[in-house]
A and B are shown apart, each in its own frame.
Chain A
């Protein structure tokens, strides 16, 4: 069990007029090889939660355990933790800084104190894993396209060989093609490299197509945690929080309301298509 989050609270600006409870009694665990989605409104605490997972923020109460060890314990190697729990932020512009892409990707593993050869090997593998070709290795990261920058940023974290990879809004601002690319990289990292992936996203349709488990944050609390399919069956509750269900699920539940006998626990376009056809055929 790589990560256990045990009843954590986090309060911003305690004791001032700006005091705000960002996290309130949040508990859950992440198992090896899971593919998890994390959703919630802006300000629901999901980004704050992500920052706790690799120790960039510390809980005011409660504890976080990585591989069974309390990360707040004396002498805990934070740098090593950041290598194990990789966090990729929304804007790649916030991390790209070297003269060329390859050197930039080397930054992470170099910070881990690895040998040069190992650093470069890891950078090479990471760049390959995100689909950046050799001829793009030595261009300036600032000359990359939007989608390439995201991929380079992911590679920069991937090169530290994390067990858990948290991607914060990796598709924001990209065109449909770019989104598809990033999501299929996330799939690959999970399926082929066995990395535990946590995907923070606003797009319920994307989450429905990709993740197996869903965590829903609302006002600093973890209000839902379960298999994606089951979480999306709570349409009313989600809509009350200002969140949506995937369009395909919404169509099915509307159809059921109109009297067509369809299952409503299906969430992807493909599933909805098959279910509608089945329901229509069985009607005759």
Chain B
């Protein structure tokens, strides 16, 4: 299950989307996420679907790879759907015992599930086509103006980038720790919640100890390679907008117009 999380993973490929400036992708994702929450109609979702499908096709990332990310939130999806179906008041559709299913309930549930699925798939398109460091570069440069409010933008971006680098390493390590404790007869699957929570201690302690050791090693390695914060730092590939990026921004403006049009018309 841990391996099913696609959010924050990069899928190397040669596509227009991969080459796009991360700031474009960030703004696009932001716009897309906002639009998902604004849309209340099928027309709105049609627009979002067109946008999402286009982006997926352009990304050259296998669809199966993106959908895998949904496995991790499957329970959440079911839970959302069930709650909405049974708890939304409105016109009665079916009724048995104390439970009533309403038309509104089905509608809200469908939207909620769709919204979540689109949200996850949409944002994983961004992370799958953008290397984490590119992403943080984009954040650092795109949000550079926050420095004037004494927000340490570079430091935050660096922390994010390190965290993203270490996710796969720590996931693999967790797997090894679990195996090592299972080999000593540890049981993570039976018992009540308290017992199960207690069973996590033999995993969490080695994981934390290791994470701290790694952090310490990494700090020394970074200092050894002359790291001293963002001051005076250059970039191997400084972010610079090209024609492709302006074209992409135009597409986003069209999308924005579509959102507004849908809002007015439906």
Contact = CB atoms under 8 A, between A and B. Distances in A.
A87 B209 CA distance: 22
A190 interface: no
B176 A82 contact: no
A87 to B, nearest CB: 4
A107 B186 CA distance: 8
A280 to B, nearest CB: 50
Instruction: Find the residue from B173, B179, B213 having the highest chain A CB count within 10 A.
Output: B179
B71 to A, nearest CB: 13
29 contacts: A54-B183, A56-B179, A56-B182, A79-B185, A82-B182, A82-B184, A82-B185, A83-B185, A89-B176, A89-B180, A89-B183, A93-B209, A93-B213, A94-B173, A94-B176, A94-B180, A95-B183, A95-B184, A95-B202, A96-B206, A97-B201, A97-B205, A97-B206, A98-B205, A107-B184, A108-B184, A157-B183, A157-B184, A160-B184
A170 B251 CA distance: 58
Closest CB pairs A-B (n = 10): A111-B185, A97-B205, A108-B184, A95-B180, A87-B183, A94-B180, A89-B180, A94-B177, A97-B202, A79-B185
Interface string A223-240: 000000000000000000
A112 interface: yes
B41 interface: no
B179 to A, nearest CB: 5
Nearest to A99: B205
A83 B187 CA distance: 13
Nearest to B202: A97
Contacts of A111: 184-187
Interface string A85-110: 01111010111111000000001100
B181 interface: yes
Interface of B: 173, 176-177, 179-187, 201-202, 205-206, 209-210, 213
A131 to B, nearest CB: 20
Contacts of B187: 79, 111
A51 interface: yes
Nearest to B186: A111
Nearest to A97: B205
A142 interface: yes
A40 interface: no
B184 A89 contact: no
A108 B179 CA distance: 13
Residue with the greatest number of chain A CB neighbours at <10 A, chosen from B179, B180, B182: B180
A152 to B, nearest CB: 12
A82 B173 CA distance: 21
Nearest to A91: B176
Contact of B202 (A88, A107, A112, A157): A107
A79 B185 CA distance: 5
Most buried by A among B182, B183, B210: B183
Interface in A159-175: 160
A220 interface: no
Given A86-B183, A89-B183, A156-B184, 14 more contacts: A56-B183, A82-B182, A82-B183, A82-B185, A87-B183, A89-B179, A91-B176, A93-B209, A96-B206, A97-B202, A107-B186, A108-B185, A111-B185, A112-B185
Contact of A95 (B177, B201, B213): B177
Contacts of A97: 201-202, 205-206, 209
